[in-house]
Amino acid sequence: MAEKHGEEFELIPMSPIRRMEKRLEQLESNTGSNSTNFMKDILDIIRMNQQLVDELAKANDALRIELSKLPGRLEELINDIHELLSYIKASATEELGVAPNVDMTPLAQKLDQLIEGNKKIVETNQSLMGSLDDLERKLRRPPMPMPPPTRRPMPLTPIT
């Protein structure tokens, strides 16, 4: 989540938000509705909001599980690369005889670069996991109560 000029930004699905916006527009446009319909509509909006939060929490948990698998898989990849390198060295010594004259340092340097890149990916994934922990803590907070209206609401008409 990046902050720019005091605003927070997140990646979330837009369809539930659009439905809530349309529902609010309908509520605002209908002025002749009674208070029980108005309260039902408000409760529906709150339920939709809670469903959106629940979906985000589920997506967050699924992403956390997948990201937690990455370090182990990267470690396996590094071990496999080391094993492959040992096979390449062994085959090179067999191919050339007892004393290999081929300089393997460029290949070893490239593999070292790959290993360093993988380490950076692991560090990035760990920082992402920390950010996801922060996001989950923010999503788990209880919703703030709605402040009492400061002006008298206009009567709403029933939705036809």
Residue 154 lies in a domain: no
Residue 160 lies in a domain: no
The pLDDT of residue 2 is 45
Q: Is the dihedral of CA 137, 142, 148, 152 positive or negative?
A: positive
Cβ 20 vs Cβ 62: under 8 Å: no
Q: Give the mean pLDDT of the chain.
A: 79
Distance CA 50, CA 23 (A): 15
pTM of the model: 0.35
Q: Which residue has the tokens 């999503």?
A: 139
Q: Which residue has the tokens 């071990």?
A: 79
- pLDDT class for 13, splitting at 50, 70, 90? confident
Residue 4 lies in a domain: no
Phi, psi values for residue 5, rounded to 5°:
60, 35
Number of domains the chain is built from: 1
What digits encode the pLDDT tens for the residues 117-139? 999 999 999 999 998 888 888 88
Residue 37 lies in a domain: yes
Residue 63 lies in a domain: yes
Residue 71 lies in a domain: yes
What digits encode the pLDDT tens for the residues 15-38? 878 888 887 787 777 655 567 777
Domain that includes residue 129, residue range: 14-140
